[in-house]
Chain A
């Protein structure tokens, strides 16, 4: 079965420092991977996706993610964190099984960026 894991419940970073939010996946076949961000009492906002191609994917708001097939990881990164980046981040994998396709989400990582 497809799954994703986010090993850190919370990540704390100082403003201006680089940030990394970790995600590992388990899929059969080629993975379709996504990162979403959720602000309090809001829905999910798409950040970026990996379908195929370059292992470094660039997305919205200066975020990027590195796909590593050998380590089955898809870590989210940003060179310089902003206080406004503080939110809940979800990694997800597309499951194409016999259910018409769905997203399987990790448990989420709370990112806190302090001034």
Chain B
């Protein structure tokens, strides 16, 4: 059983640029969600995808967008990067067929300069 993998592990972007982060779900999981973890904070829910559609969103602006593909992998896109977007971005997969467990990836550390 493979876990959740995220890429890249680290990246540095300039303010105003756009970034795409990728996530491969754990085998058998059909739902993926994304979280932002700022330094010294708990993870904050960005959004969730199920059946390739967004079915839940946290308090994040529209420049945060995502995709889920038929194989349940996912992308998080952030446009017009701001310095405050610097954080660890975590992807979590889960299954609607099991008891509420979430499997998290190791995250992508994004630094905006």
Residues of A within 8 A of B109 (CB): 41
Total B residues in contact with A, Cβ cutoff 8 Å: 29
Q: Is the CB of B100 within 8 A of A94?
A: yes
For chains A and B in complex, what number of residue pairs have CB atoms within 8 angstroms? 65
Minimum distance in angstroms from A2 CB to a CB of chain B: 11
Minimum distance in angstroms from B109 CB to a CB of chain A: 7
Q: Is the CB of A46 within 8 A of B42?
A: no
Binding site for A on B (CB under 8 A): 4, 6, 31, 33, 35, 40-45, 48, 50, 55-58, 90, 92, 99-107, 109
Can you list 12 A-B contacts (CB < 8 A)?
Answer: A36-B104, A44-B104, A45-B104, A46-B104, A49-B100, A49-B101, A90-B42, A99-B55, A100-B50, A102-B56, A103-B102, A108-B41
